[in-house]
Every structure is written in structure tokens, then in C-alpha cells.
């Protein structure tokens, strides 16, 4: 495991080395010598590793900021560089409308002749426990598949029929419900499909014939909501729709009918809407300023000189900043006409009123400046591709720094091999020395004993 110098023991006094009792503290002595040996190298590698990691992080921050700017620039591809469209109608017009960028500017006259309604049929009232009959009911929604419902003898109340129909017709475009009234209960069949395509057809067959009252032909059902298509007139031209939304009556305009008012027209105005375009331009200003600020803070020292950015002295952020500011300066005349302003530090701002006036005068002004085929637009897209992404300037710098980290790791591994060998060498030498000291102490003790036994 690779450690920084801060986590490793440092060299110090060897006063703990002791031969008291005839032995040397080999482990302590070796540890102190190794710590003293490796301290300078660890300190150097730790410093280089820390600086490299900080630089990688800094380039990551710049890459993130420039990627955001690149994404913002792409907003002005194709229709994104043009104003949108807005549809305006009176609050009591009986309809609402929305427009896409393909809608044609102009005023249109709309009248809501009728709304689309879903088919709904209701039986005559009967008692809750009355047996209507038994046999087979066959139901069909529009031209859909026939749904056969068998009603058994003795299971022919309205509730029985409702449950059987709902079970057989689940998810097939119709439902049955019971309404409890003063005169009795009524069974209601409702189509879930609006318009003529959702018309209900019910036939009865077999059994005791009692279910015939629920047939659409010859029965006693009452139509309480017709299977009716919506109709509206657009500049006097009749348009029919199976739903209350007319999406193809006018190119790029969707009209939703809310209230019928036959013969009464209300104007629909389709005009330019620069709000989304303006919002995109403001995001461009913000991401541009953020990118410049990020690079500036990482490549400069503080005013008091006490701190410095991680990339002080690195030419990469300065080169990118100069490139961006150069492109903006080169197109400043056109940018100024759109309300862009530049500050001393190169940051941008937008005069909203001037921008609105410019777009009103020329809806294609942004496209002419920032679109993919415009001069500045091409420069920005080309430059951003060279700054970020695979093989870009920042990608190459980051890859080189990561290689440097790997090289530091290899240096640590190689140095550790040297340290391991040196540790073994020291341990062998001092173990031998310890053995020698022990033998000498034994000899000294023996001689002392012999001398003590001599006659005085």
C-alpha cells in the first residue's frame, strides 16, 4: 500500500538503541534508519502527486464548464436559433391553442360548431332486484370486435348485468354503471371513445327475450349523449375531428375545443415568441462567463499573493480564454446590435430591451450570428470541439497528468523494492552485531568471574 509521507514514521534520535543486558533493539534501530532514509524521497513524491492530482481536478472543472458552454451553443442549431411561435386567443373563445415554430404568422377566425362527445345509452328504470332477463348480450364499440356477455337465468338484475359487462369489456372501450334514482335504478352503457368512432351497438339473443330491452334497435334504451365528432370552422372552412383537439387544421397549430358556440367566430393570432430564444441567449451568457471565471481563478494568483490557482503558469487555460475572447471581440459589432455587452474582464451581459427590439426587427438575427452556418457560430463550435471531448486539448492534458500519476506510482513501487532490500540488509547486519555483542558480554562476564577468583 502506497502511503504519503505524513502517514509514515520520520527519522529521529537513535537514543532508544540499547545494548543493556547484552542485546541491541534491532527493530527500533532499523525502523529509525529506514524512516530517515526514505523521508526525502517520500516528501518529494508526495508533493508531486498532490500537485498532479490538484491539476487533474482543475482541468476537470474547466472541462465541465466548457462542456456546459458547448451544450448551450448547440441550442442554436436549426430552429433553436429562431423565435418560437405563440398562439393568442380570447378567454371566452371556446377554445385554446398552441403553436410550434412551423406555424405561419397571421390572424385566423375560429368558430366552435360543436364538441366531440362519447356515446352513452341509458335503460328504463327498474327495481334493484328485478330480473331483467337472461340470454346473451353482444356489444360493439364502433367497428371493433364484438363482445359477447352471457347472462344466466336468475342472474339478470341490473347489478348482475353491469358486473358481467364490465368483466367481459374491461379495456375494450366501454363500461356499464348503475344510477340509483327515485323511480328506480337505470343501467348506463358508456363508450370511452369520443366521436362517431365510439358508437355503441347492443344486440340481445337467446334466453327468455327479456334482455331485448337493452338492445339499441327495438329496445328501450335512451341516448343521453350522442357519438358525435367535433366540428370547428377555420376561416370559414369546416373541420371535423373525432376528439376535441384539432391538431392538423392549421400547420403548426393545435386547437383544443372547450365550448360550442355555433356561428360565432373568435380570432386566433399567431405571432413570434422570442422568450425561449432570449432564455437560451441568457444561458449562453451565463455559461460563457462561468467558463471564463473558472479558468481565470485557476490560472491566477490572488491579489495579495498569498494563494494561487492550481494552474498558475500553465498556458492551457490562458490560451483557451484568449481564444474565446478573441472570437467575441471579432464579432462584437454584430453582438452589440443584439444587446450584448462586454466588461473589462471579458465577461458578457445582455441588454434585454435591446435584444427584444432586435429580434422584432429581424427574427433571424440570432441565427445569422450563432447558427451552425454563421461565422461566429462555426468558430465557436469548432473551437469547443478542440477544447473538450476525446482527443481535445483538455483531454490530452488530463491524460498526460494521469500518466504522470501512474509514473509516480511506479517510482514508489521501485523505491519500495530498494527500501525492502535495505531493511533486510540492516536487519541482517544489526542482528549479527547483536549476536557479537552478546558473545562479548558473555566473555566479559567469564573473565570477570575468573579475575574475581584469583588470590589477592
- pLDDT tens for the chain, 456 residues long, are 344 544 444 443 333 344 344 467 889 999 999 999 999 999 999 999 999 999 999 999 999 999 999 999 999 997 778 898 999 999 999 999 999 988 999 999 999 999 999 999 999 999 999 999 999 999 999 999 999 999 999 999 999 999 999 999 999 999 999 999 999 999 999 999 999 999 999 999 999 999 999 999 999 999 999 999 999 999 999 999 999 999 999 999 999 999 999 999 999 999 999 999 999 999 999 999 999 999 999 998 777 777 788 999 899 999 999 999 999 999 999 999 999 999 999 999 999 999 999 999 999 999 999 999 999 999 999 999 999 989 999 999 999 999 999 999 999 999 999 999 999 999 999 888 888 877 877 787 777 877 777 876
CA distance 1 to 3: 6
User: Cα–Cα distance between 89 and 258 in angstroms, integer?
Assistant: 13
CA distances to 47, 58, 300, 330 from 311, in Å:
15, 7, 8, 27
Residues 366 and 355: their CA atoms lie apart, in Å, by 10
Considering the domain 118-225, what is its CATH architecture?
2-Layer Sandwich (3.30)
Q: What pLDDT was estimated at residue 11? A: 40
The pLDDT value recorded for residue 255 is: 98
Chain region(s) in the chain for CATH 3.30.70: 118-225
Cα–Cα distance measured from residue 31 to residue 28, given in angstroms and rounded to the nearest whole number = 5
What is residue 180's predicted lDDT score, i.e. its pLDDT?
A: 96
Q: Which pTM does this prediction carry?
A: 0.69
Amino acid at each position: 500500500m502506497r502511503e504519503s509521507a505524513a502517514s509514515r514514521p520520520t527519522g529521529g534520535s537513535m537514543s532508544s538503541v540499547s545494548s543493556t543486558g547484552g542485546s541491541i533493539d534491532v527493530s527500533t534501530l532499523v525502523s529509525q534508519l529506514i524512516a530517515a532514509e526514505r523521508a526525502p524521497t517520500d516528501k518529494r513524491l508526495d508533493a508531486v502527486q498532490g500537485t498532479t492530482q490538484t491539476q487533474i481536478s482543475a482541468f476537470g472543472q474547466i472541462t465541465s464548464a466548457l462542456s456546459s458552454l458547448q451544450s448551450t451553443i448547440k441550442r442554436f442549431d436549426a430552429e433553436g436559433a429562431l423565435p418560437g411561435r405563440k398562439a393568442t386567443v380570447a378567454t371566452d373563445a371556446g377554445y385554446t391553442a398552441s403553436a410550434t415554430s412551423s406555424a405561419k404568422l397571421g390572424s385566423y377566425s375560429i368558430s366552435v360548431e360543436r364538441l366531440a362527445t362519447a356515446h352513452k345509452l341509458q335503460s328504463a328504470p327498474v327495481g334493484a332486484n328485478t330480473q331483467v332477463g337472461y340470454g346473451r348480450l353482444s356489444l360493439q364499440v364502433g367497428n371493433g370486435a364484438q363482445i359477447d356477455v352471457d347472462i344466466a337465468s336468475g342472474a339478470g338484475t341490473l347489478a348482475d348485468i353491469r358486473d358481467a359487462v364490465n368483466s367481459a369489456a374491461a379495456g375494450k372501450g366501454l363500461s356499464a354503471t348503475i344510477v340509483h334514482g327515485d323511480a328506480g335504478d337505470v343501467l348506463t352503457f358508456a363508450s370511452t371513445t369520443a366521436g362517431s368512432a365510439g358508437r355503441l351497438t347492443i344486440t340481445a339473443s337467446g334466453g327468455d327475450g327479456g334482455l331485448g330491452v337493452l338492445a339499441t334497435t327495438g329496445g328501450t334504451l335512451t341516448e343521453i349523449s350522442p357519438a358525435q365528432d367535433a366540428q370547428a370552422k377555420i376561416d370559414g372552412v369546416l373541420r371535423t375531428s373525432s376528439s376535441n383537439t384539432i391538431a392538423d387544421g392549421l400547420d403548426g397549430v393545435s386547437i383544443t375545443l372547450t365550448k360550442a358556440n355555433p356561428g360565432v367566430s373568435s380570432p386566433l393570432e399567431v405571432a413570434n415568441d422570442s422568450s425561449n430564444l432570449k432564455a437560451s441567449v441568457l444561458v449562453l451568457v451565463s455559461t460563457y462567463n462561468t467558463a471564463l471565471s473558472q479558468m481565470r481563478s485557476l490560472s491566477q494568483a490572488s491579489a495579495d499573493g498569498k494563494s494561487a490557482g492550481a494552474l498558475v503558469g500553465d498556458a492551457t487555460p490562458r490560451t483557451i480564454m484568449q481564444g474565446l475572447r478573441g472570437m467575441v471581440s471579432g464579432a462584437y459589432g454584430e453582438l452589440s446590435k443584439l444587446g450584448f455587452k462586454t466588461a473589462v474582464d471579458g465577461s458578457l451581459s445582455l441588454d434585454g430591451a435591446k435584444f427584444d427590439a432586435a429580434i422584432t426587427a429581424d427574427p433571424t438575427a440570432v441565427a445569422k450570428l450563432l447558427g451552425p452556418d454563421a461565422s461566429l457560430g462555426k468558430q465557436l463550435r469548432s473551437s469547443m470541439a478542440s477544447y473538450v471531448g476525446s482527443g481535445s486539448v483538455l483531454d490530452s492534458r488530463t491524460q498526460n497528468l494521469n500518466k504522470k500519476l501512474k509514473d509516480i506510482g511506479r517510482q514508489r513501487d521501485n523505491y519500495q523494492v530498494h527500501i525492502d532490500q535495505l531493511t533486510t540488509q540492516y536487519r541482517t547486519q544489526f542482528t549479527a552485531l547483536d549476536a557479537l555483542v552478546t558473545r562479548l558480554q558473555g566473555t566479559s562476564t567469564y573473565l570477570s568471574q575468573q579475575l574475581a577468583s584469583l588470590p589477592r
